[in-house]
Structure 1
Amino acid sequence: MVKEEVFVYDDEDKAVINTEVILTDTEQKMAKSITRRLDIRLMPVLMLLYVGSYMDRSNIGAALVNGLRADLKLTKAEEALVTASFYIFYTTLELPANVILKKFRPRYWFSLIAGLWSVACMLQALAKSGGLIIMFRSILGAVESGFTPGVFAYLPYWYTRDEVGARMSLFFGALPISVLIGSPLAAGLASVKGTLEPYQMIFIVEGAVTFMIAVLSFFILQDYPETCKFLSYDQRKLLVKRLRADQGLATKSKLTLKSTIRAIFDWKVLLFCAANFGCITGINTVSIFGPTLMKGLGYSSVRATYLATLPGALGVVGIIITLFIPKRIPLTTQFFVFQTISVVFYTILTFSKNGTLRLISFALSGLGIYPSFPIFLSWVSVNQGGIGKRLMVSAAIFTIGNVTGAVIPVMFTATYAPHYYLGNAATIGLLGLSILLTAVMVVHYAKVNKQKEQNPIDVSHLSEEEQILLYDDHPAFRYTL
């Protein structure tokens, strides 16, 4: 057996925040080759896992209109809890799950939780009462809590700050794809006549698909650049060199109680969490309650499930558009454009009296809702001063942002059919709030960058650990507007 070569860093390899590494022509070519390999080997698996994740959580919408509500004789309170229970446990456990990810190997973590949530999804088919389906949904939420925030923190292990934004967009492009796959699949399964009820077929088949993806991920995903098996020794060394130069002390940040408290109670993080309410609510509404909204327009259960695919289809188009937007256009400008599209078309969907116009607006709302989410998260990600803080911020954003998932379902029960004005109005308001709060942060970041340029502060007297804990307050760090 050949012993794998291990590399270490000397003083020449050390870097500080925002230091540009100078590469030779050969190294530049190698760096591009490394990035392509990462894109081919890591991104497809992460996207497949996300397809399974969102498909398994959102298929409850199709199940409700295809027999679950009637077969289990759900009360109005149980109907709301069936969806809300997922988010109650999802939001409660996101933060501790992300801490666990920092302490365990990512490959084992991602494949394990994916396998567990796929089983939880399939177990929902066994529910014979409202209490049981709520219990299984709670387990599903608990297990899924460690995935998406974990990926948010995992990608910066492999990509520089300039590169991670496009990969975040690519990853979250799987979200509308999950709707494109899940909704037609659910509608097709609901049309099958057999011994199982339509909603049982949906839970079992879609859960089984995710289980196969979980097994696949175990054999393909890698833990860290230093131990990556599909890169050579020189490629691993160059990759880590670039990451250290790009993030400097950030790559050495570790989770401590002090750093955790500092990250979570940063007022900017709390504002980001509030802004994320709109992004999360918009996606959850069209993804989970799409069949409900379409049935409210008078369509049959199966046809409503098929029509729920439309925002996902337009969402994929929107994601593709973002991949071709020139880098010179700021992420915040892109966010404002796409989120405005969301507000406009969702408002028409809510208040128009024309059924055809409402259907078209429902579809076009996906053109803005789905792309704006990864753009927002990418912008948040590049404006943290270290991997440790980025890890905690990602968990906080998803945790607090998903709180709406425990509240909004109450507004989409049969009580508010067929127009669901309350839930739709809340969605529009939160979409608008995300635009307003993001604008506030742009103004603040521009002001802070100017202050750092005009009044540089010397922190050389601080220890390395103390400088790490400065995060984005480090005088050498510049916010991306």
Structure 2
Amino acid sequence: MLPEEKQQDRKESGERSKEDDVQFAVSEELLSYTPEQEGKIRRKIDLYLLPVLALLYLMSYLDRSNMGNAAIIGLKEDLHLSSTQYNLCNSIFFIPYAIFEIPSNLVLKVLRPSVFIGLMVVAWGIVSTLQGIVTSFSGLMAARFFLAICEAGFFPAASYLLTMWYRRHEIQLRAGIFYSAGALSGALSGLLAYLINMMDGVGGLAGWRWLFILEGIVTVLLGLAAPFLLPDSPESARFLNEEEKAILMHRLKYDTGTQHGSYNEKQAFKWKYVWQALRDYKVWFIIVVYWGSSIPIYGFIYALPTVVAELGYTSAVAQLMTMPIYVAAVIALLLAAYLSDRAKDRSLFVIWPLILGGIGLIGLMAIPKYGYAPGALYFMLFLVAMGLYCIVCGTVAWTANNLAGPWKRSAGMALMISVGNLGGAAGTNIYLAREAPHYWTGYGTSLGVIVLSLAAALFLRFKFKQLNREKEAMSLEEVYERYSEEELLEMGDESPLFRYTI
């Protein structure tokens, strides 16, 4: 915000429009709202926004990861898939998924979010259902390709949507609640696969076909309901009164990490904001951090039922034994998200989960196989899942916190998620059947990526501290002597008034 005397000068000179005068008047009037009012508004948003996003993300994860469950109940045998072909069907998903994420997030700024997200959900639900009638390797490849196109925009859109409603140090817990549905889907997927496989032979269809068909139909129904359930923006929220909307907009506008400066959510689109995100080296470093989750986690998801089965259990029991692993992952990511928001620190809650996941992978490689210590191996799977799932929420929140300007933030988050998720194409090909039960390539590659990601996270922690010190060296008077308010808004996160979240 401009110093009081600067505001008065602009008012006397007639620089501000009538709309600006109203905005400044509302801002000044609302400076006295209480923490209790803020808490009530947050609880309302939590109630109306988070359950819908979490449920849709649950179906998103189910529809992309149920391949792992289908594989051990007959998909490979019925379609005569080799291990290479099966891996290709998994990895093909991530190429169109990455390509379409940035365009999708830009479209989100133009169309109503509820309608756009609803259309995406219906589209991928239809494709998911059609996976249940494929008869060949090529048919499954095509289905996975189009499933990726339809799903591509959802995760970055939902993540960006959270930044439209919450302040910087409120995001990770909400992202954790939203993303926990993805981890929970791993547990639910095993249970559903176990139950749905009992339909094997019903209607002349194999159990794995019913898995795709039934989960796809549920997704379509939820997609049709999404436009009626999701709020589009704070201004149009029917569950907030006018005073609550004004408070919410005020607290978001001045959420720049300092007591000065403001944020323009209504910024007009310019291609330069997209290029700023593409050229920002900090975004590319956070992508490397994100790989520490995406590469290991996608291989882990698709291989987990098989790895558990190789501990000496039947495929049916192995499906059920994956459930506690995912439940532990959900608890860990929610705890990490809560602590991160309270500490107002993002990097530490990325660094420590990376270390935890690395310890689990070392254990999986070091402990002898062939029945010597199945309990210890099973425990290490818990450590891997708990570490890997925490990293995703941490990197999403860290990125959202450190990109200012709605278009740069939208493009930067989509870039991070899209290129980051390209790691999934690698992750789905590192667990080689011929290496069972050791999986040296899978565990070793995952560990190497985690070490690289850890180095990138430590660098960013150091760099953000350094950049904040440089900004703090410039006094408020020097800032306003050098830059106008409009210039400061255009600078986004490079503004000397903006502070990076460590």
Is TM more than 0.5 here?
yes
Structure 2: gaps of 5 or more residues: 1-17, 257-261
CA distance in 1, matches of 2:351, 2:493: 24
Q: CA deviation at 1:416?
A: 3.3
Amino acid at match of 1:156: T
Cα displacement (A) at 1:77: 3.4
Match of 1:10 among 11, 20, 39: 20
**1:384 alignment partner, SS class:** coil
Equivalent residue letter for 1:46: L
| Per-residue deviation, 1:230 | 1.6
Kept after mapping to 2: 8 A contact 1:152/1:391: no
In structure 2, what is the Cα distance between the partners aligned to 1:170 and 1:56?
19
Q: Matches of residues 329-340 of structure 1 in structure 2 within 5 Å? A: 330-340=345-355
Q: How far apart are residue 310 of structure 1 and its match?
A: 3.1
* Partner Cα distance (2:343, 2:81) in 1: 52
Which residue number corresponds to residue 49 of structure 1?
56
The offset of 1:244, in angstroms, is 1.3
Instruction: Give yes or no for contact 1:295–1:301 (8 Å, CA) kept in 2.
Output: yes
Instruction: Confirm or deny that 1:423 pairs with 2:442.
Output: yes
Work out whether 1:192 is the aligned partner of 2:199: yes
Q: By how many angstroms is 1:464 displaced?
A: 5.5
Equivalent residue of 1:412, what SS?
A: coil
What is the CA-CA distance between 1:234 and the residue it aligns to? Answer: 2.0
Moved more, 411-420 or 168-177: 411-420
* Residue of structure 1 aligned with 2:479, choices 458, 461, 465: 458
The 1-side partners of 2:296 and 2:122 are apart by 28
- Give the structure 2 partner of residue 292 of structure 1: 306
Question: 5 Å matches for 1:232-243?
Answer: 232-243=241-252
Report if aligned partners of 1:68, 1:199 keep a CA contact under 8 Å in 2.
Answer: yes
SS at match of 1:246: coil
Q: CA 1:259–1:178 in structure 2 vs 1: closer, same or farther (change >3 Å)?
A: same
Distance 2:376 2:495 in 1: 51
Deviation readout 1:346-371 (Å, 9 max, x if unpaired): 22123311332111211232222212
* Change over 3 Å in CA distance of 1:453–1:465 after alignment to 2: closer
Shift of 1:459: 5.8
| Structure 1 residue 282: Cα displacement | 3.0
Contact 2:108 2:157 (C-alpha < 8 Å) held by counterparts:
yes
CA distance in 2, matches of 1:460, 1:214: 51
Retained in 2: the 8 A contact 1:122–1:203?
Answer: yes
- Name the CA shift for 1:125/1:151 in 2 (closer, same or farther; >3 Å): same
After superposition, the Cα gap between the structure-2 partners of 1:47 and 1:9, relative to the gap in structure 1 and judged at 3 Å, is farther
Note if contact 2:294-2:427 (Cα within 8 Å) is conserved in structure 1: no
RMSD: 2.3
1:98 maps onto 2:117 in alignment: no
The alpha-carbon distance between structure 1 residues 258 and 399, as it changes in their structure 2 partners (threshold 3 A), is: same
Distance 1:231 1:436 in 2: 44
2:68 paired residue number: 61
Give the match for residue 475 of structure 1: 496
What aligned pairs does 1:56-455 form with structure 2 within 5 A after superposition?
56-194=63-201, 195-247=204-256, 248-322=262-336, 324-325=338-339, 327-328=342-343, 330-353=345-368, 354-455=373-474
Q: How far apart are 1:13 and its partner, in Å?
A: 2.5
Native 8 Å contact 1:286 1:311 kept in 2:
no
Matched letter for residue 336 of structure 2: T
Task: Report the AA paired with residue 159 of structure 1.
Answer: Y
Deviation at 1:28, TM superposition (A): 4.0
Report the Cα distance in structure 1 between the residues aligned to 2:130 and 2:496, rounded to whole angstroms: 52
Q: What amino acid is aligned across from residue 198 of structure 1 in structure 2?
A: G
Hey, what does 1:4 align to over in structure 2?
none
Cα distance, 1:461 vs. partner? 5.6
Q: CA deviation at 1:44?
A: 0.4
Superposed CA deviations along residues 168-205 of structure 1, whole A, max 9, x for unmatched, are: 12211212111121221112222433232121011112
2:4 counterpart residue number: none
* Aligned mates of 1:333, 1:440 — CA distance in 2: 12
The answer as to whether partners of 2:290 and 2:391 remain within 8 angstroms in 1 is: no
- Pair 22,57 (structure 1): closer, same or farther in 2 beyond 3 Å: same
Offset from partner CA, 1:225-284 (integer Å, 9 cap, x none) = 111112122222221122112252342334321110111111111111111101112332
Q: Partner amino acid for 2:59?
A: G
Structure 1 alignment gaps of length 5 or more: 1-7
How big is the shift at 1:22?
Answer: 6.1
Structure 2: distance between partners of 1:21 and 1:386: 25
Residues 250 and 298 of structure 1: CA distance in aligned 2, closer, same or farther (over 3 Å): farther
Provide the rounded CA distance (Å) in 2 between the counterparts of 1:137 and 1:419.
28
TM-score of the two chains, using structure 1 as the length reference: 0.92
What is the CA–CA distance in structure 2 between the aligned matches of 1:254 and 1:99, rounded to whole Å? 12
Deviation at 1:436, TM superposition (A): 1.5
Whichever residue aligns with residue 10 of structure 1, its letter is D
What amino acid sits opposite 1:443 in the alignment? Answer: F
Question: How big is the shift at 1:23?
Answer: 3.3
Cα deviations by residue, 1:132-170 (Å, 9 ceiling, x for unpaired): 001001111111001000111111111122222221122
- Read off the aligned partner of 1:420 and give its amino acid letter: Y
Identity %, equivalent residues: 28
Moved more, 440-449 or 212-221: 212-221
* TM-score (structure 2 length as normaliser): 0.88
Q: 1:320 to 1:395 in 2, by over 3 A?
A: closer
Whole-angstrom distance in 2 between the partners of 1:215 and 1:437: 41
Please tell me whether the aligned partners of residues 190 and 302 of structure 1 are also in contact (alpha carbons under 8 angstroms). no
Moved more, 130-139 or 179-188: 179-188
Instruction: Report if aligned partners of 2:274, 2:412 keep a CA contact under 8 Å in 1.
Output: no
Number of residue pairs aligned between Structure 1 and Structure 2: 470
The alpha-carbon deviation at position 418 of structure 1 amounts to 3.0
The worse-fitting range, judged by mean Cα deviation, of 413-422 and 156-165 is 413-422
Equivalent residues of 1:345, 1:365 under 8 A apart: yes
Q: Report the CA distance shift for 1:460/1:72 in structure 2 as closer, same or farther (over 3 A).
A: farther
Q: Which amino acid aligns with 2:494?
A: D
Take 1:345 and 1:226, find their aligned partners in 2: how far apart are those partners?
46
After TM superposition, give the deviation of residue 220 of structure 1 in Å.
Answer: 1.2
Change (3 A) 1:329 1:256: closer
1:3 corresponds to which residue?
Answer: none
Please, which moves more after superposition, 461-470 or 350-359?
A: 461-470
CA distance in 1, matches of 2:28, 2:361: 43
2:3 aligned partner: none
Which structure's CA Rg is the greater one? 2
